[in-house]
Structure 1
Amino acid sequence: MSGDAVPAAVGEGSTRTRLDRGRGALGPALELVHTGRAPTRAVLTAELGVTRATAGAVAAELEALGLIRVDARPGAAAGSQGRPSHRLEVAEDGPVALAAQVHADGFRAALVGLGGRIVATAPGCETVDADPAKVLGSVVEAGAELLRRTGRRCVGAGVAVPSAVAEPEGTALNPLHLAWPAGAPVREIFAGCVRAAGITGPAFAANDVNLAALAEHRHGAGRGARDLLCVATGHRGVGGALVLDGRLHTGSSGLALEVGHLTVSPEGRPCHCGSRGCLDVEADPLAFLTAVGRDPGPEVSLLQQSNELIRDHYADPTVRTAVQALIDRLGLGLAGLVNILNPDRIILGGLHRTLLDADPERLRAVVADRSLWGRSGSVPILACTLDHNSLVGAAELAWQPVLDDPIAALASV
């Protein structure tokens, strides 16, 4: 045996030992890189509470799995001293999740990589059939075509729907703005379509605003918040979601935060739920277009029509008055939620993001005036920053098993 053989063998064994010790850290390490909280190996080491050598072994294993890239020779920042730490980033050519979203004005499919990065999208469809199986079959077919075209490995699939989704059954209890039957087994149907298309990995379904909140918390305006409230209106209706201690709160059976049915105008419009003046019908795009006297024609989505009116014609007194009315109703609902939930941040999506941009001071003043804690320290109210957050959130469902156990999850797809 040569003199240098023993050190080589010892080094090899030490590497294996470090990796064995760090296998339990693979998931947490991947999540740190996935959410942008560990841009370097030095930060990863500190966040995981392991040795530098163990962090290096963990990063090397994630790179070997094709999930991240390790730049061992990053350029040093101007004025810095010493050798810069290895940079970590998600692999641009790595696996993807199939993400789908269904809403009142159509549906869309996309491929989403780690880091919440949308890799490819299929052209959206603007009609939604009354049969959920036809819609979900079409959106999976579009996603399967994207996978064939890009040649990417798929870890699983997720779909966002505009309804509360009961757990553990995966049924859409109240697809009020679709013609789908109440209680449609969307997860079972979606999973069957995914299998039929030959797509590997698990399939999931969840409420669209819950998924928007999850995506924003990991990759957008909610990053770093501990107790995050998300309220949004897309094409029809109003939804809400809550992230508590970094985890999506869905209640005992997936039905928490049905904020659209808070009453904000007791003598207001009749709501689909049987009540009157709910946020769902008083602060969504249809309510806005009705207030400005516009006929919501089918050629352009309600959300797009509303956003364009506010951005291009805000000086019009009719438009401005309608905006202020919706802001006041939205603020009243948000104040009630602040009193109950005491969040440390509120993020707004869809038309509500546009309302906030139009008159942020008015909305913040209404919330502060109507909430118990508003005068002693107002809650930050921010706009969502991800353009397709429900799609990204649907992908997060499919990525979660990989974040929990990368080796086991990738072995099954």
Structure 2
Amino acid sequence: MNGKATSNRTKLERGRGALGPALELVHTGRAPTRAVLTAELGVTRATAGAVAAELEALGLIRVDSRPAAAAGSQGRPSHRLSIDEAGPVVLAAQVHGDGFRAALVGLGGRTVATAPTCAPVAADPAQVLGEVVAAGAALLRRSGRRCVGAGLAVPSALAEPEGTALNPLHIAWPAGSPVRDVFAERVRDAGITGPAFTGNDVNLAALAEHRHGAGRGARHLLCVATGHRGVGGALVLDGRLHTGSSGLALEVGHLTVSPEGRPCHCGSRGCLDVETDPLAFLLSAGREPGPEVSLLQQSRELLRSEYDDPAVRRAGAELVDRLGQGLAGLVNILNPDRIILGGLHRELFAADPERLRAVVADRSLWGRSGGVPILGCALDHNSLVGAAELAWQPVLDDPLTALA
């Protein structure tokens, strides 16, 4: 083989090796132009152009070679890069205490179609996941889009590598249910192409926020969130979820914040899980939960519409103080560079941000000397978007192989 042929092959291999990293940069919004892509990849402009062209040929991105110049700018603007809105999708699903939601999600975390259901979750995971996948399959049929995988978020710790739900405390599934295997089987039975993945809902919320929301740019991101019931936590380190040796890390809901407090499902008392979730807020405010809508929605509506009520304000302050105590302990142990709050915690923080910051600063070792930024989560249905991220990961790793 002559030298020129060898050089061309090397360039081609280098470009193909950059396809995954390039796609992730566009997917997460970090490379809006070819010039930025060139700099981020550390390649030549020609290589970056070839990579972008190949991703466009795969139907994943769009390259605008003649973008309009910004007002007052000089010189020719760089090619603009964006997600191909007609490209493939993944099936994303989330099961929670009040039902489930199925959706089609494209690159960039963009939801294309969704099918929510609010109903009691059956005690048989196979039945529930069958209904979830059937709803997703119906969305796919109507859309006519290519599907490259499926992801599921569940309100339980998942043991690795088995993918079994160890403690589905707020749904009636048996402990140890083989959720990952059941979901994958239902996906195959429905004729949906691509691999199927399953993860804990708060872990996936953190992953989605890190890539597309309030966690962008953080190296050590702590996420704490209320779901429809209970409290969960997650940690993203240098872009990767920290799940521990067997998938069970960051069960922050079972930190004790009120030793004489409410009995917890885990057998202890006064855990974050039962002291700062939507049910705790409703009860502390003297409200009797109703069956009409989810506890999370009832809590949000109460906080938004009746925060001037002294009982509601006292309940909010009580939950904020307990949440702050828990966050301070986590700051002391984990030393994150950002904290994001989801679910009802986001709403409580928005109602009185300075109170929560003060509690965390007062109780954490390093709070007074620097402080940790605290933000509300930015994405709606972030666990669902995180489930989609699981399904997109093989494409981000190796677009050519995943789409072959």
TM-score bracket for the superposition, by shorter chain length: over 0.9
Tell me whether 1:295 sits opposite 2:285 in the alignment. Answer: no
Shift of 1:245: 1.4
Residue identity over aligned pairs, in percent, reads 85
Tell me whether 1:47 sits opposite 2:40 in the alignment. Answer: yes
Aligned ranges 1:5-404 → 2 under 5 Å = 18-404=11-397
- In structure 2, relative to structure 1, the CA distance for the partners of 1:115 and 1:281 (3 Å cut) is same
Tell me the TM-score normalised to structure 2 length: 0.98
Alignment partner of 2:51: what SS?
helix
Q: State the AA in 2 paired with 1:409.
A: A
User: More deviation in 125-134 or 216-225?
Assistant: 125-134
Alignment partner of 1:124: what SS?
strand
Distance 1:87 1:250 in 2: 36
- Aligned 8 A contact 1:95 1:154 in 2: yes
Distance 1:343 1:162 in 2: 24
Alignment partner of 1:107: what SS?
strand
Q: State the AA in 2 paired with 1:42.
A: A
Alignment partner of 2:103: what SS?
strand
Distance 2:222 2:47 in 1: 37
User: Which consecutive unaligned segments of at least 5 residues does structure 1 have?
Assistant: 1-10
Q: State the AA in 2 paired with 1:202.
A: P
Distance 1:197 1:59 in 2: 34
Shift of 1:295: 1.6
Distance 1:389 1:200 in 2: 23
Distance 1:126 1:43 in 2: 46
Q: Which deviations, in whole Å up to 9, do the C-alpha atoms of 1:62-101 show, x marking residues without a partner? A: 0000000000000001111110000001110101110000
Root-mean-square deviation over aligned CA pairs: 1.4
Shift of 1:17: 5.7
Distance 2:169 2:116 in 1: 25
- Aligned 8 A contact 2:275 2:319 in 1: yes
- Aligned 8 A contact 2:26 2:82 in 1: yes
Distance 1:138 1:125 in 2: 12
Shift of 1:18: 3.4
Distance 1:273 1:375 in 2: 33
Shift of 1:176: 0.3
What is residue 4 of structure 1 aligned with on the other side?
none
- Aligned 8 A contact 1:28 1:48 in 2: yes
Shift of 1:127: 1.9
Alignment partner of 2:116: what SS?
coil
Shift of 1:21: 2.2
Between Structure 1 and Structure 2, how many residues are aligned? 402
Distance 2:65 2:309 in 1: 57
Alignment partner of 1:53: what SS?
helix
Alignment partner of 1:122: what SS?
strand
Shift of 1:13: 10
Q: State the AA in 1 paired with 2:139.
A: L
User: Which consecutive unaligned segments of at least 5 residues does structure 2 have?
Assistant: none
Distance 2:8 2:355 in 1: 59
Distance 2:188 2:266 in 1: 35
